[in-house]
Amino acid sequence: MLNNQSVKEIQKSIYSRQISIKEVVEYYLDKIEKFNPDLNAIVLQKDRELIIKEAIKKDNANETDKPLNGLPIAIKDLSDAVGFKTTYGFPGSKNNQPKKNSLFVSRLIDKGAIVIGKTNTAELGVGGHTTNRLFGPTSNVYDLSKSAAGSSGGASSAVAAGLLPFADGTDQMGSCRGPAAYANIYGFRPTPGLISTDRTGQKNNLPILTTPGCFARNPNDMSILLDEIVGSDSLDRFSFDIEGLFKNQKISDKEFSAFRVGWLSNMNGEYNIEKEILEICENKLKELEKINIKVEELKPKINNEFLWKSWTTLRAKSIYEDTLAMNILDVNSMTFQAIWEYNKGKEINSEDIQSAIDQKQKCLNQIDLIFGNFDFLALPSAQVYPFDKNLQFPKNINGIELDTYHRWLEVFILSSLLDLPTVTIPVGFNKNGMPMGIQIIGRNKDDLKLFSFAIKYEDAFNYSKIKPKFK
């Protein structure tokens, strides 16, 4: 019964008492037991008996005022959930037991969700591929030998495989967008501040680079989660409210066809992207044109050198300060990616930060001019198709060797640096059966409008109906 139900349908069945929370939880736990050993998506899990006891308790309480009542979720292992270790996939933090929940985790619990465990992450959240020395790599649901991307690959694989109804993630350099593309699901990076959180690395006037995000098989399922965790919190001075609900962002065919999309492609040749990825994205955009959505390929006048320099400066400084906040005493015990960022960040001074902020502002001015003619911008959600999960990262693209460990993630920095809400939508599969997605980018704080596009897109193309082969 539950196998073909949407989250909204499951939610309705719980409220009407047609199905018990115990049955819902057992359904997901059974799927975890069956498929997670191959995926390695959920890495820390509460004892099954304890989870079922919590479900029975919720059945007896019948808390119909809690919108997420009884829905199971596993938290990415970069965020704190009391009762679970927060390891960051890092051996030095394997015994780290948090004393309080992250802000959005508290909201999930207050709204009735059952936290059953933690999802796998890239070690210390750095790298773009979900693997670490504590738990190993997470597998791609369409090919178990391939990467699930990262750093929220555990969450995306769990959702794509049906182990969870939805999942949280965090996104700095594409950590919700890349994994969604590799899993044929939807991944959302909201405008920073929309989902409240505990923030570190905010000294020296650093902009917000990281935000919680989320995954779901379709936008309607995602809206059920989002509506309960967005909004301001007194403990997060960067947080804000929006007027409206994600679940209400239904638009007509006429409104949908009025949207204008600017296709950034490979940013005037600045981004090294596999040819097949550009082709599959362009083919999907042509399908949008067939339903009267205006799509125009742009030659964007955006200073890519400024984008890269500003981003790499602010990111390195942020990671450096996060490392200090985590009290990691032996920096050399970290991964080489984290050490690279730490050492770079250590040398960055206040003048460097101000220069990076000035560069960011110039890029913002340039992007504002482009948005004057378009509702959304579009970029591929990856530069390479899923690669061998035993690799740390792709070393070259199109035969060109990459100059840094994260140059293959360059497509993500436009949104991340300029505080633009972005949703990854599926666009199809290559000849080897590997999925891909495209980033749809909206204006700052235009999250609801962006979501209306995603809802209507799924209505038109039904990507959520496509299931992984291994299932």
Active site residues: 76, 151, 175
Give the tokens for residue 456: 């209507």
Whole-angstrom distance, CA of residue 337 vs CA of residue 396 = 17
CA angle 252, 253, 257 (to 5 degrees): 120
Please list the residues that pair with 435 across neighbouring strands.
429
Please list the residues that pair with 289 across neighbouring strands.
none
In 94-240, beta strands by DSSP E: 114-119, 139-140, 143-147, 167-171, 186-189, 211-216
Q: Specify whether the CB–CB gap between 421 and 373 falls below 8 A.
A: no
Whole-angstrom distance, CA of residue 240 vs CA of residue 230 = 9
Q: Specify whether the CB–CB gap between 173 and 409 falls below 8 A.
A: yes
Q: Specify whether the CB–CB gap between 464 and 218 falls below 8 A.
A: yes
Helices (H) and strands (E) in the chain, counts: 14, 15
340-369 b/e (C-beta count within 10 Å ≥ 16 → b): bbbebbeebeeebbebbbebbeebeebbee
Give the tokens for residue 58: 């919720």
Whole-angstrom distance, CA of residue 401 vs CA of residue 323 = 29
Give the tokens for residue 276: 């097949």
What angle do helix axes 7-15 and 219-229 make, rounded to 10 degrees?
60
Whole-angstrom distance, CA of residue 216 vs CA of residue 156 = 8
Q: Cα–Cα distances in Å, from 208 out to 205, 244, 468?
A: 9, 24, 35
CA angle 154, 160, 164 (to 5 degrees): 70
Give the contacts of 269 (CB within 8 A, at least 6 positions apart). Answer: none
Q: Please identify which residue in the block is written with the tokens 């995602």.
A: 222
Q: Please identify which residue in the block is written with the tokens 């200073």.
A: 303
